[in-house]
Amino acid sequence: MESSMTKIVGVRFRTAGKIYYFDPKNMMIKRGEHVIVETARGVEYGRVVTGTRDVPEDTVVQPLKPVLRVATAEDDEKVRRNRIREKDAFAICQEKIRKHKLEMKLIDVEYTFDNNKILFYFTADGRIDFRELVKDLASVFKTRIELRQIGVRDETKILGGIGSCGRPLCCHSYLSEFAPVSIKMAKEQNLSLNPSKISGVCGRLMCCLKNEEETYEYLNSRLPNNGDSVVTADGLKGEVQSVNVLRQTVKVLVESDDEKELREYPVSELKFKPRKKKERRKDKDNRQDKDRELAELEAMEKMEKKEGKSKLNED
């Protein structure tokens, strides 16, 4: 039985933010247009990233909230004025934080489109009693105030920057939600376990480790491990000295005419007994450094799990 279809538009409210789906009613809305929609936190202004189209009804969470209208020139001007007001609110909040001597770092300020609420995003080490700060801000702005504590990943997503690759940060430019990242991914890709080499601007493991995880898992599964015994296509027995994951080649120390020689073979020309993945042996001189690095990385992983999901998209 085929599921019935429903019309949707996909809308984002901030750069590289989560995509929310709305009912376009009878409007044909194009990608790139701005719309006024009803959300859980009130009337909002967003950018359409998926124009009006039909999708199976069971692929979206019903009921969909409606698109109220395509944004007008007046709506665009209101948003522009709100951006200016946000800068003023940021400066005022900074001053109030200093006044109350709170150990918190203000990251961003956001006015809702209808000016019904102002959201202040901040980072802090642990919990902060900001009740007096909220009262102070409410007396200044005469509207609802919400302070939202975010993690270092969300901070970097808001502020942006340039990664070690020389490109704008993935989280700020296109990555709408953070993917779980682990030390295992770095090991799988044979990267240095030095935290400074595999950490992003936020200080957590780089999100891009996730991008090639499946490819490396597949390629590594086709290769022998260092130290494994193999038989070459020309009938020679040898021991694996090193592997090139991307080229799928293996350097083998073979014995030919009573002499040992290092030769490189495509993995397809070798016979070997597949084994379960195992970590390469650590050099004794580097064992202490490696253990320290692993401890730091495991601490980073625990921090990521503790921070949990992004707080930017909560309504």
CA-CA distance, 45 to 17, in Å (whole number)?
A: 13
In 42-86, beta strands by DSSP E: 42-56, 67-70
Distance (Å, whole) CA 5 – CA 53: 10
Residue 294 confidence (pLDDT): 62
β partners of residue 50:
10
- As a CATH number, domain 77-150 is 3.30.300
Predicted confidence at residue 299, as pLDDT, reads: 65
Query: Was domain 223-271 assigned CATH 2.30.30.30?
Result: yes
DSSP, res 47 = E
Tokens of 305: 């799990």
201: left (phi over 0), alpha (psi -120 to 50) or beta: alpha
Please count the CA atoms within 13 angstroms of the CA of 157 that sit on its side-chain side: 26
For residue 313, the model assigns a pLDDT of 65
For the whole model, what pTM was predicted? 0.76
Cα torsion 77, 81, 71, 54: sign: positive
Q: What is the pLDDT of residues 232-268, one digit of tens each?
A: 988 889 999 999 999 999 999 998 777 888 999 999 9
- Report d(CA 139, CA 133) in Å as an integer: 10
- pLDDT of amino acid 9: 94
Low-confidence ranges of the chain (pLDDT < 50): 1, 277-288
**What is the sign of the dihedral through the CA atoms of 203, 183, 179 and 123?**
negative
pLDDT at 278: 46
Whether the Cβ atoms of residue 15 and residue 172 lie closer than 8 Å to each other: yes
The pairing of beta strand 117-123 with beta strand 144-149 = parallel
pLDDT of residue 40: 84
Instruction: Give bridge partners of residue 253 from the DSSP assignment.
Output: 239, 262
pLDDT of res. 306: 59
Nearest CA to 17 out of 151, 157, 132 is that of: 157
**Rounded CA gap, 301 and 65, in Å?**
37
Cα–Cα distance measured from residue 106 to residue 46, given in angstroms and rounded to the nearest whole number:
24
Q: Which two tokens stand for residue 8?
A: 């949707």
Sorted by where each begins, the domain ranges of the chain are 5-71, 77-150, 223-271
Strands 67-70 and 34-39: antiparallel
Which residue bears the tokens 């039985």? 1
Residues 6-62: tens digit of each pLDDT: 999 999 998 888 999 999 988 999 999 999 998 887 899 999 999 999 988 888 888
